Amino acid sequence: MAVFAFAGRPDAERRGKEPGYEPYRALGYGCRGNPGRNAMQLAPRGPYCRTVFFVNVPTGKLGTFFTTSALYRGPHGVRVGMATATAERLLHRRLRVACGENIVFLGTKTILTIQFVGGTERADRTVIGGHVNAFVLESRRHDAGTFDC
């Protein structure tokens, strides 16, 4: 599997299915047993992982990717932990509150969501302060359905 070739053996693995979506295989990396605000829960009692690849079982294609790890970079060098103002400048976009504190890039085949935390919402729905918390990349065709907003 291409994910193993790229990231190695996962720390945790789980199978699941969201209503209306194909079944997926979740491969977790950077996992631990206790919850953390920068980790995704893979099963009811953990583990909690900083990076998760959701592979569409019938197609074998990557459906969704989630990470709070600073090992990954987004467009224009944006990374987890980067200040909101710096990310906005690099992306040429303003962070506004809509479905969470996110900047979303809609592509023909994918949707990239850059999630932010820690900011203060202003009256015009823009956000001051905070930082990049996570990246979520979803395939329009093979999505696992785990991040619908």
The CATH number assigned to the domain holding 49 equals: 2.60.460.10
Domain assignment present for residue 72? The answer is yes
Domain assignment present for residue 46? The answer is yes
* pTM of the model as a whole: 0.92
- Banded pLDDT at 35 (limits 50, 70, 90): confident
Domain assignment present for residue 128? The answer is yes
- Banded pLDDT at 149 (limits 50, 70, 90): low
Domain assignment present for residue 145? The answer is no
Host domain of residue 87: 2-139
Domain assignment present for residue 81? The answer is yes
Work out the percent of the chain whose per-residue pLDDT is above 90: 79
What are φ and ψ of residue 132, in 5° steps? -70, 130
DSSP of 45-93, one letter per residue? TB-EEEEEEEEETTT--EEEEEE--TT-B-GGG-BTT-BHHHHHHHHT-
Domain assignment present for residue 10? The answer is yes
Whether residue 37 is predicted with pLDDT greater than 80 in this model: the reply is no
What are φ and ψ of residue 90, in 5° steps? -70, -35
Domain assignment present for residue 50? The answer is yes
- Region 35-59 average pLDDT: 90
Domain assignment present for residue 78? The answer is yes
What domain count does the chain have? 1
